[in-house]
Amino acid sequence: MLNRRSLLKAGTAAGVLAAVPAGLLGARPGRAAAAAAARAPFAVPLRIPRPQRALRMGGYDVYRLTTRESDVSIVPGATSRVRTFNGQLSPLIRAQRGRPVLIEQVNELPEPFSMHLHGGHVPHHSDGHPNNEVEPGGRRLFHYPNTQAGSTMWVHDHSHDTHAENIYMGTAATYLLTDPEEDELPLPKGQYDVVLQMRDAKVEDDGTFVWDPNGFNDRPVFLVNGVPTPYFEVAARKYRLRLVNTSNERAFVLRLGEGDEFTHIATDGGLLPAPVPSRVLQLWPAERQEIVVDFSRYPVGSKVELQTMVTYPGETPEVMRFDVVREAEDPSSVPEVLRPVEDLGTPTVERMFEMSFSPETGQHLINGKPFDVNRVDFRSRLGDVELWTIRNKDAEFGIPHSLHPHLAHFQVVDRNGQPPGPSEAGWKDTVTVRAGEEARIKIQFTDYTGLFMFHCHLMGHLTMGMMGQMEMVR
């Protein structure tokens, strides 16, 4: 159960984030005295994940993902017992739009596992409903049609009771869906298109990976692709960086160098309508953001830090460092038009989602109710355009909440009555709402009937009841 310490800590973070303007945040974050005793950052090179190898059968790419406990190297000179897909932290699957994927999940963990493709437009039997858990020793086949537009997604657990622990302990895979239309654009490609899966964790000096059910750890380390505060050697040219936040609770507010400009090009559902020059980027749990950084502005030999501008006492802000080590030709560019977004049209259905914490029961609630797997909260007809109001009623505690509906992406209509900024002009699948505020989104479910989930993606909140289920009908 979330205790008072955790509530206060969450509220403090929310208060800091509430002060983040659309442009650059204030002063460079201070380094706490305790940081002197922390592990030195930038001691280990970034690990670039190689795509998992597929067996090509007919028109399908077939994979096997085995969830199991593995000993991996995180802290130099030690091993950590974590939970993995195929023995790896931050593995990568590359898929192609129009070519479906079949994944056989084999569960060798001591806990149930229900695999969910976050951001995927998939049938209900392959969506990772808690009723479809794979028990220890079991296996299940998942079908991902890949008919949607290209985007960066990720795979994680959605079981009844162990989802937060399984995600925290390492079972998070990136699922990169490429798109022929997007491939035509002159954006950076190949080795210059890099996935950066970010999270926090507490790892002791002997390698022990510490799981805290409250969701907060003292003096955590930031992991990028499973590597603690790494350095990444880059060429003096443009890179496309796909940022994926797989933390249970941690929000990042990212700044490059001394507030250097980069170009925001994509979010959860893929490319934005147009590039957005930015100096700061918020990345909440489960969100994906993509940026292009032009390292040609830095002389060879430069070292450029990526930092988070929100830290707790005793933490240091460094997330990773880019070391510019060579010159390189660069035929890439960022076009003025990326992917136009067609408005969904006039909604015919309206729904309210009030998100709150109950100190009496210690539960997080949606519309006053905790999750009940035997209750269908509402039914949606395929093809209807719906307007959802998401209201965070936790002004007293200062707790942020998010909402992630399965099956469909959505369009942000407004926040507190104001139009969204250009960084939210594309398709989203997770929206975070600060305490006492509200957001409205338009959403349309298509293609697949059956039961699907909607929930907060701060995993402690989900565990404590902030989830519901909806049934899609024709």
CATH number of the domain bearing residue 283: 2.60.40.420
Do residues 146 and 270 share a domain? no
CA–centroid distance for 465 within its chain: 20
The pair phi, psi for residue 427, each rounded to 5°, is -85, 135
Do residues 123 and 256 share a domain? no
Paired residues of 282 in beta bridges: 253
In a domain, 240, yes or no: yes
The confidence score (pLDDT) of residue 312 equals 86
The confidence score (pLDDT) of residue 215 equals 54
Label residue 275 exposed, middle or buried (CB < 10 Å: 0-12, 13-18, 19+).
Answer: buried
Do residues 287 and 360 share a domain? no
Do residues 214 and 274 share a domain? yes
Q: Which domain holds residue 386?
A: 349-473
Do residues 153 and 228 share a domain? no
In a domain, 146, yes or no: yes
In the chain, the number of structural domains is: 3
How are beta strands 221-224 and 209-210 bridged, if at all? unpaired
Series of mean pLDDT values for 10-residue runs along the chain (474 residues): 44 46 37 44 96 94 98 93 97 97 98 97 97 97 98 97 96 97 97 98 93 73 97 98 97 97 98 98 98 98 97 91 98 98 97 97 97 97 98 95 98 97 97 98 98 97 96 98
Q: How many angstroms separate the CA atoms of 255 and 275, rounded? A: 17
The confidence score (pLDDT) of residue 216 equals 60
Do residues 154 and 92 share a domain? yes
Do residues 33 and 116 share a domain? no
Domain boundary among 118, 145, 179: 179
Q: Which of 446, 340, 458 is nearest to 399 (CA)?
A: 458
Q: How many angstroms separate the CA atoms of 73 and 79, rounded? A: 5
In a domain, 152, yes or no: yes
Do residues 38 and 140 share a domain? no
Q: Kindly report the CA angle at 148 between 144 and 154, in degrees rounded to 5? A: 60
In a domain, 13, yes or no: no
Do residues 173 and 192 share a domain? no
Is the distance from CB of 376 to CB of 471 less than 8 angstroms?
yes
Do residues 243 and 323 share a domain? yes
Label residue 343 exposed, middle or buried (CB < 10 Å: 0-12, 13-18, 19+).
Answer: exposed
In a domain, 49, yes or no: no
Do residues 156 and 225 share a domain? no
In this structure, the chain runs to a length of 474
- Quick one: residue 144, left, alpha or beta (phi over 0 = left, psi -120 to 50 = alpha)? beta
The confidence score (pLDDT) of residue 212 equals 81
Q: Which of 405, 409, 412 is nearest to 441 (CA)?
A: 412
The confidence score (pLDDT) of residue 15 equals 45
How are beta strands 410-415 and 385-392 bridged, if at all? unpaired
The owner of tokens 């960086």 is 241
With b meaning 16 or more CB within 10 Å and e meaning fewer, what string describes 372-381?
eeeeebeebe
Domain boundary among 137, 155, 179: 179
Do residues 419 and 299 share a domain? no
- Tokens describing residue 239: 């890179």
In a domain, 287, yes or no: yes
In a domain, 7, yes or no: no
Q: How many angstroms separate the CA atoms of 219 and 285, rounded? A: 19
The confidence score (pLDDT) of residue 426 equals 97
In a domain, 341, yes or no: no
The confidence score (pLDDT) of residue 5 equals 44
Domain boundary among 155, 179, 203: 179
The confidence score (pLDDT) of residue 25 equals 36
Whole-prediction pTM value?
0.93
Q: How many angstroms separate the CA atoms of 65 and 139, rounded? A: 10
The owner of tokens 């403090």 is 12
